[in-house]
């Protein structure tokens, strides 16, 4: 029997825009493992484009959890553009404290699911942000993932489909720091 895996044994490291060349492949590999059952979907195949897009942001922030040399999970995002935050069209009036971090992507290798690793990288990414809010998009067809975010303090404020071939996403918002 395999020994049980524990998130506590992982080495959590932080990366920025300048690190993109050396973390790009790790992000692509973890994503391919995490989405293995859904990689026939052309939208998921475009992930490398999204890595360039988000990693190209000068304030890109990324956390990767390593088991030895192997990247097993990541979380990344970047500050939202003021007035163009994903929540903006759904909240009237807008929150008074509205500086927002866009939490773009989270993925955990299948072997490391249900070990607390998703929460570990999420909290590590968000704990030293100085924005007021964090917003993310989650596929409305994945209610169990939405429930996970709700357990961490996010609430659904609307729905959007950013690209014609993307899923319809629930827009989820939380105050920072996370509770």
Ligand X SMILES: CC(C)(COP(=O)(O)OP(=O)(O)OC[C@H]1O[C@@H](n2cnc3c(N)ncnc32)[C@H](O)[C@@H]1OP(=O)(O)O)[C@@H](O)C(=O)NCCC(=O)NCCS
Helices (H), the chain: 20-34, 42-45, 47-55, 117-127, 143-151
Residue 148 interacts with ligand X (CB under 6 A)?
A: yes
Smallest gap from Cβ 93 to ligand X, in A, equals 27
Smallest gap from Cβ 18 to ligand X, in A, equals 25
Task: Tell me how far the alpha carbon of residue 33 is from its chain's centroid.
Answer: 15
Window contacting ligand X (CB under 6 A); options: 2-10, 76-84, 125-133, 140-148: 140-148
Residue 35 interacts with ligand X (CB under 6 A)?
A: yes
- Report residue 42 as tokens: 């052309």
Residue 118 interacts with ligand X (CB under 6 A)?
A: yes
Task: Tell me how far the alpha carbon of residue 125 is from its chain's centroid.
Answer: 9
Number of residues that bind ligand X (CB under 6 A): 13
- Report residue 177 as tokens: 């720091």
Distance, CA of 80 to CA of 136 (rounded, Å):
11
Among 14, 53, 142, 155, which residue interacts with ligand X (rule: CB under 6 A)?
142
Residue 106 interacts with ligand X (CB under 6 A)?
A: yes
Which of residues 23 and 137 has its CB atom nearest to ligand X in the complex?
Answer: 137
Give the angle subtended at the CA of 85 by the CAs of 79 and 89, to the nearest 5°.
170
Residue 113 interacts with ligand X (CB under 6 A)?
A: yes
Which residues fall within 8 angstroms of residue 32, CB to CB, at 6 or more apart?
Answer: 39, 47
Residue 53 interacts with ligand X (CB under 6 A)?
A: no
| Binding interface with ligand X (CB under 6 A) | 34-35, 106-108, 113-114, 118, 138, 142, 144-145, 148
């Amino acid at each position: 029997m395999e020994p049980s895996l524990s998130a506590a044994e992982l080495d959590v490291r932080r990366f920025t825009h300048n690190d993109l060349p050396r973390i790009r492949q790790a992000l692509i590999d973890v994503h391919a493992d995490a989405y293995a059952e859904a990689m026939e979907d052309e939208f998921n195949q475009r992930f490398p484009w999204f890595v360039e897009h988000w990693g190209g942001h000068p304030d890109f922030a990324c956390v990767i959890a390593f088991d030895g040399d192997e990247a097993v999970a990541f979380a990344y995002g970047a500050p939202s553009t003021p007035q163009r935050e994903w929540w903006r069209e759904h909240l009237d009036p807008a929150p008074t404290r509205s500086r927002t971090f866009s939490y773009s992507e989270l993925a955990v290798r299948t072997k490391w699911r249900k070990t607390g690793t998703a929460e570990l990288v999420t909290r590590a990414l968000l704990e030293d942000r100085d924005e007021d809010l964090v917003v993310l998009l989650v596929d409305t067809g994945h209610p169990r993932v939405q429930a996970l975010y709700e357990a961490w303090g996010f609430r659904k404020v609307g729905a959007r489909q950013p690209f014609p071939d993307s899923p319809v996403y629930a827009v989820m918002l939380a105050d920072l720091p996370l509770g």
